[in-house]
Structure 1
Amino acid sequence: MNGPVVVGVDGSPSGLAVVETAALEAERRGTGLHLAHALAWAPARVRPGVPPWDPDGAGLRDRVNDSLGEAERHARKVAPNVTITSDVLMGDPVHVLEIESRTASLTVVDGRRPAGVTGRLTSHGRCPLLVVRGRTVRHGPVVLADGTCAAAAEFAFAEAAERGADLLVLRTRADAVRRPLTGLRKKYPGVSVQDRRTRRRGGRALVEASAGAQLVVIATHHRALEMVPGSAGRTLVDRAHCPVAVVPGGQA
């Protein structure tokens, strides 16, 4: 998919850092960056000529414009040549990002948001989701949580090739990952692949692997993505030491 990289804008300091990460991702992919600011529906009717998201007049509009303007400045600071668009969208932020993901190449969110935000987007998002948390560095391997999902494996290989990084396949099943990765090894001959078996379960093994990685890639169908309290998915998203990319099983 060649759509833009989509990121939500909320005006917070951590949110601006996520915007910068999204801008760099758009630059790497050679695509645009779309800034989405979500607002709840106005509870009452508004005057003619007043935007439905600004029932009180220019006050809210100015704050929204300030947030979008600041986000665009941060994005241009790190990726000056990326085409940037923005929009004010009505609805719950998670639902807005879910809809925007239908035409995006990547959705970027702040890993410090409540776990329910990430959980819903991993369940219903239509494109890969990048959860920004921990270190955002360009050294260390890309970690693939499960080589049995073709879409996640393809995404991980492409990321490793683009970043000039090794690919570490973390697996718990003896030979299950070998066959799906064979074609990708040929497609990306420059990527050095390491297989590592682990006896640790789910999120704990992934969190440990993330300590020396620049990215962890996991598929939505992986059991580690059960976003309930105490699950491996919550452990990974809450404690990973680097960004986590969640790839829908239907994406290549």
Structure 2
Amino acid sequence: MSGLVVVGVDGSASSLAAVEVAAREAQWRGAGLRLVHAYLWPAMHVPLGAPSVGPPDGGLGNVAARVMTEAAERAQAVAPDVYVSRAVKTGEPLTVLEAQSRAAELVVVGSRGMGGFVGLMVGSTAVHLAAHARCPVLVVREDGSGTGPIFLGVDGSAAAARAVGFAFAEAALRGADIVAVHCWATWNAPLPPPRETSMPYANEPGALAASAERLLSEALAGYREQYPEVSVERRAVHGGTRETLIETSRTAQLLVVGARGSGGFAGLLLGSVSQAMLHHAHCPVAVVRASR
């Protein structure tokens, strides 16, 4: 066994769906699976044991034990050969998961939660985890078992190269096809040099579409040779990034995007594009952060 997949567990239906996905990911990779549960109350001097007035199986410690047992049973049912370990940590959950990501090749979390991971997809918390984790982060919907292709957002930036590599490796593990998408518009296309005989910075008809096609070819070239078994379809789309990716995610088993970008994906994980993907995509979303 080599490698480690970490999954955040809080007992919610969403986190149990994440456990199943994480177990499959660990099995495909030949990796171990670590179940992680975090809570703040012990740091506030709330005892872990059962209260003096109440059921003997009450208290934070017993609740955590039950949550972890249920998650472990769910993981073993999906991937019985995967080694499963458990970690119950005191601390703010996203900080705990960020620390756990240092030893992991993938962190998996549910899109909705309760208890230790309440509100994971509300506001900036999911963005924070995806932006600061030391490995790719996979955010799972409650139904994370789609059978379509893997959709990959491509913008041609150096920072997005890791997302391309992750998508190809993931497709090889899953036996899935890739649909690589680049969204372009006149406002985010590179400008040609001015010419004496034409309007300054005017593009020839079809030039922007051709440039988008070249960008896709260049971004995918090395990986297509490395993963010849992975079938790839290229789509250069004239349209908005958010709308295009949300719509294509309806038929995807996974959407992969980079944590930094330019062009059609400018400011990903800093602004509205990342928020839209994490809130509105119809399939699991993998966010691959650029290396520091």
**What's the TM-score once normalised by structure 1's chain length?**
0.88
Match of 1:176 among 197, 207, 215: 215
- Equivalent residues in 2 for 1:126-205, closer than 5 Å: 126-133=134-141, 135-146=143-154, 148=156, 149-173=160-184, 174=212, 175-205=214-244
3-state SS in 2 of match to 1:238: helix
Query: More displaced, 33-42 or 97-106?
Result: 33-42
Task: Tell me by how many angstroms 1:163 deviates.
Answer: 2.0
1:235 paired residue number: 276
Query: More displaced, 172-181 or 153-162?
Result: 172-181
1:114 paired residue number: 121
Residues 43-88 of structure 1 show CA distances to partners (whole Å, capped at 9, x for unaligned) of 5668xxxxx7559687221111111111111111111111000011
Q: Would you say the 8 A contact 1:202–1:224 is kept in 2?
A: no
Residues 166-206 of structure 1 show CA distances to partners (whole Å, capped at 9, x for unaligned) of 21110025122322321111111111211111122222111
Runs of 5+ in structure 2 lacking a partner?
Answer: 53-57, 113-119, 185-211
**Structure 1 position 250 matched with structure 2 position 291:** yes
Residues 124-174 of structure 1 show CA distances to partners (whole Å, capped at 9, x for unaligned) of 010010010264235221111015322111111111222222211100251
Letter in 1 for 2:268: L
Residues 88/196 of structure 1: CA separation in 2 closer, same or farther (3 Å cut): same
Q: Would you say the 8 A contact 1:147–1:169 is kept in 2?
A: no
Return the alpha-carbon distance in structure 2 between the equivalents of residues 99 and 120 of structure 1: 13
**What's the TM-score once normalised by structure 2's chain length?**
0.77
Return the alpha-carbon distance in structure 2 between the equivalents of residues 81 and 127 of structure 1: 24
2:38 paired residue number: 38
Residues 108/43 of structure 1: CA separation in 2 closer, same or farther (3 Å cut): closer
Bigger Cα Rg: 2
Please report the RMSD computed on the Cα atoms of aligned residues, expressed in angstroms.
Answer: 2.2
Return the alpha-carbon distance in structure 1 between the equivalents of residues 45 and 247 of structure 2: 52
Q: Would you say the 8 A contact 1:42–1:55 is kept in 2?
A: no
Runs of 5+ in structure 1 lacking a partner?
Answer: 47-51
Q: Would you say the 8 A contact 1:141–1:167 is kept in 2?
A: yes
3-state SS in 1 of match to 2:234: strand
Letter in 1 for 2:144: T
Residues 90/213 of structure 1: CA separation in 2 closer, same or farther (3 Å cut): same
Q: Would you say the 8 A contact 1:146–1:177 is kept in 2?
A: yes
Return the alpha-carbon distance in structure 2 between the equivalents of residues 225 and 23 of structure 1: 28
2:16 paired residue number: 16
Q: Would you say the 8 A contact 2:14–2:111 is kept in 1?
A: no
Letter in 1 for 2:179: L
3-state SS in 1 of match to 2:3: coil
2:268 paired residue number: 225
Letter in 1 for 2:90: M
Task: Tell me by how many angstroms 1:224 deviates.
Answer: 6.0
